[in-house]
Chains A and B, each alone.
Chain A
Amino acid sequence: MISATPYAQLLGIGDWMDSDGSTGLVLRASSQLEGREGFLYGGVIASLLELACLEAVSRELDDPGRRPKPINMTYDFLRGGRMVDCYAKARVVRIGKRVVNADATCWQSDAQVPIATGRMHLLLA
Chain B
Amino acid sequence: MDQEEDAFERLKGIAPRGHHALLGIFNVDDGPDWAELACPFSPDFLMDAGAGLVSSGPVVSLIDAAAGAAIIARTRQWRAMATLDLRVDYLRSASAGRTLYARATCYHVTRKVAFTRCNVHEGQGADPLAFATASFFFTGAS
Is chain B a partner of chain A in the same complex? Answer: yes
Q: In the complex, which residue of chain B has the Cβ closest to the Cβ of A32?
A: B22
Cα distance A77–B88 in the bound complex, in angstroms: 14
In the assembled complex, A9 has its CB within 8 A of some CB on chain B: yes
Chain A CB count within 10 A is highest, among B43, B44, B55, B62, for B55
Query: When each residue 47-78 of chain B gets 1 if its CB lies under 8 Å from chain A and 0 otherwise, what string results?
Result: 11100010111101111110000000000000
Q: Which of A31, A43, A69, A74 contacts B57 (CB 8 A)?
A: A43
B-chain residues with CB within 8 Å of residue A51 when the two chains form the complex: 55, 57
Q: Which of A5, A33, A46 contacts B48 (CB 8 A)?
A: A5
In the assembled complex, A73 has its CB within 8 A of some CB on chain B: yes
In the assembled complex, B19 has its CB within 8 A of some CB on chain A: yes
Q: Is the CB of B21 within 8 A of A47?
A: no
Q: Is the CB of B84 within 8 A of A72?
A: no
Give the size range of A's interface with the partner. Answer: 20 to 34
Give the size range of B's interface with the partner. Answer: 35 or more
A-chain residues with CB within 8 Å of residue B88 when the two chains form the complex: 72-74
A86 to chain B, nearest CB (A): 13
Q: Which of A33, A50, A67, A76 contacts B19 (CB 8 A)?
A: A33
A85 to chain B, nearest CB (A): 16
Tell me if B's interface is mostly helix, strand, loop or mixed: mixed
Q: Is the CB of B21 within 8 A of A5?
A: no
Interface Cβ pair total, 8 Å cutoff: 106
Instruction: Please provide the chain B residues from 3 to 60 with a CB less than 8 Å away from any CB of chain A in the complex.
Output: 17-22, 42-49, 53, 55-58, 60
Query: When each residue 13-47 of chain A gets 1 if its CB lies under 8 Å from chain B and 0 otherwise, what string results?
Result: 00000000000000000011111100001111011
A-chain residues with CB within 8 Å of residue B46 when the two chains form the complex: 5-7
B-chain residues with CB within 8 Å of residue A46 when the two chains form the complex: 57, 60-61, 64, 86
A39 to chain B, nearest CB (A): 8
Cα distance A35–B89 in the bound complex, in angstroms: 23
Q: Is the CB of A77 within 8 A of B57?
A: no
Cα distance A67–B87 in the bound complex, in angstroms: 22
Q: In the complex, which residue of chain A has the Cβ closest to the Cβ of B53?
A: A67
Q: Is the CB of B89 within 8 A of A72?
A: yes
A interface vs B, CB < 8 Å? 5-7, 9-11, 31-36, 41-44, 46-47, 50-51, 67, 69-77, 80
Q: Could you jot down 9 A-B contacts, CB within 8 Å?
A: A6-B46, A7-B44, A7-B55, A10-B44, A11-B57, A32-B21, A43-B60, A46-B60, A47-B61
B interface vs A, CB < 8 Å? 17-22, 42-49, 53, 55-58, 60-65, 80, 82-90, 93
